[in-house]
Structure 1
């Protein structure tokens, strides 16, 4: 079992049972250190381990360590800063900093501006989401579905690129909705989709909700300004319908030992259930590379 032990001289410190590293029978604990400059590589490795077990609980890392890593990734994605900027001394410090930041995103006077910048960052570079955990994805979605009057009148909330189909249709907050869909394009299975919906909550590590409730919250936002009337609906965006189609398109279980790819690519459906080399040490995607 691994547990987050804070940061020391710019290194992510992890406590691990010796048995995890050296096999059954080994006693005691080890302190593992991941250099701050390599924390993103560590996050990628964890993302692959999640995919290989279809987004169930990882046995080798405790909840607090996993939530801390997911929180650091979320904070970095929101701000555009490097992950090491949020590697504080203790898990409590990371959690407190994140909670204060996310409360401002919901209730602060600059909340609408920060949500708009988050959506822009995702739309500009959706690959940032490739190695995010369900916890990080759910928290980002929670932020993006918050809206007040300032969000509605902010021109950045609308899609202004004529190359995008939503530009030509009536809708509200289309750019924000597009960012949410971008998050879902990196979902690897229906199991991960359900996990994300359970984590559409204000803070990572908070009480989870049912996947049905999470889906209701997301769909309620995507449905703002959309019309379901026959014929007329053709002239309106259909982000709510897009989300349901995404779910139906997903594999029930994630492919093992294969790269993480967007689920709207041919490569996604072409992946084997298990990569032929998955059981050969140093010959599967998750051990040989993280790119």
Structure 2
């Protein structure tokens, strides 16, 4: 499969999730290129699951976060839900191997129910702030689900818990976690996808409405006037969006938008030694 993936012919692959594992099926035309006949299907075991998640993400990134033709919807939903559960510490990545899709769905629903408790939202906040690197390969939908939970609050629980508030900033730590997730957008389209999918299950909605809801959260203050945290949304085009690439830069490892590596990639474009791949997007 490494040889086949290296061929760059991902349009001849199918990714699905069945019998508790992600599965990659190589079609006959691609198999012939490495001396095999007929279709070949491999399943991802616990030793390769982390490598697979990285491989999967880069194909999504190279397609600029548009839907991939060769990825089954069930597989994509499982991929996203596992990411949220791993980020929360609710599941270990290797432990998900062997779980049927209905078990993953149930675990994810259980986690959504846990988010009804303020402690789970605080735990998510703390994990995002202390482990931002875990967002590096997150899908837009996974990032959106986490933002939705971080922006949920009730005064009787979240409002009176100082764990949520930085000195002089109402919900300051929550806002920092939300902005940390937004900063792990890799392109303008990725960021738009994140905002559009801010929903408990990552479902798409009206991007204008959801952007305003996000802005309302960032500008919340205890005294009633708008907080300085709203700057990212008030100056949306001039700040974060202006920093983001319009298109991915294949051949380079993804980096945070505020890093030197990201700025270099934006200026350099596609790596000169990168082997071009076919368009696998569904626009």
Question: TM class by shorter-chain length?
Answer: 0.7 to 0.9
State how far apart, in whole Å, the 2-side matches of 1:55 and 1:98 are: 23
CA-CA distance at 1:17 after TM superposition: 5.0
Distance in 2, matches of 1:20 and 1:13, equals 22
Partner of 1:144: 150
> How many pairs are equivalent?
255
Structure 1 residues without counterparts, runs of 5 or longer: 160-166, 282-291
RCO comparison, higher one (Cα < 8 Å, 6+): 2
Alignment of 1:218-229 (within 5 A): 218-225=214-221
Instruction: String of CA shifts for 1:152-193, please: whole Å, max 9, x gaps.
Output: 11111023xxxxxxx4xx321100110111111211111000
Aligned CA RMSD, in angstroms, stands at: 2.5
The answer as to 2:31 corresponding to 1:41 is no
Contact 2:15 2:22 survives alignment (8 Å): no
Distance in 1 between the 2:69 and 2:87 partners? 26
Distance, in Å, in 1 between the alignment partners of 2:38 and 2:220 is: 55
Instruction: Could you tell me which runs of 5 or more consecutive residues in structure 2 were left unpaired when the two chains were aligned.
Output: 1-13, 278-283
Q: Are the counterparts in 2 of residues 116 and 157 from structure 1 also a CA contact under 8 Å?
A: yes
In structure 1, what is the equivalent of residue 139 of structure 2? 133
Any residues of structure 2 matched to 1:32-181 within 5 Å, and which?
32-79=42-89, 81-87=91-97, 89-106=99-116, 111-149=117-155, 150-159=157-166, 167=167, 170-181=168-179
* Structure 1 residue 252 corresponds to structure 2 residue 242: no
- SS of residue paired to 1:262: coil
Q: Give 1:227 shift.
A: 7.9
SS at match of 2:142: helix
Instruction: Give the aligned partner of residue 163 of structure 1.
Output: none
Work out whether residues 61 and 248 of structure 2, in 8 Å CA contact, stay in contact via their aligned partners in 1: yes
Q: Distance in 1 between matches of 2:253 and 2:39?
A: 32
Deviation at 1:126, TM superposition (A): 0.7
Please state whether the residue corresponding to 1:121 is helix, strand or coil. Answer: helix
User: Is 2:264 the counterpart of 1:270?
Assistant: yes
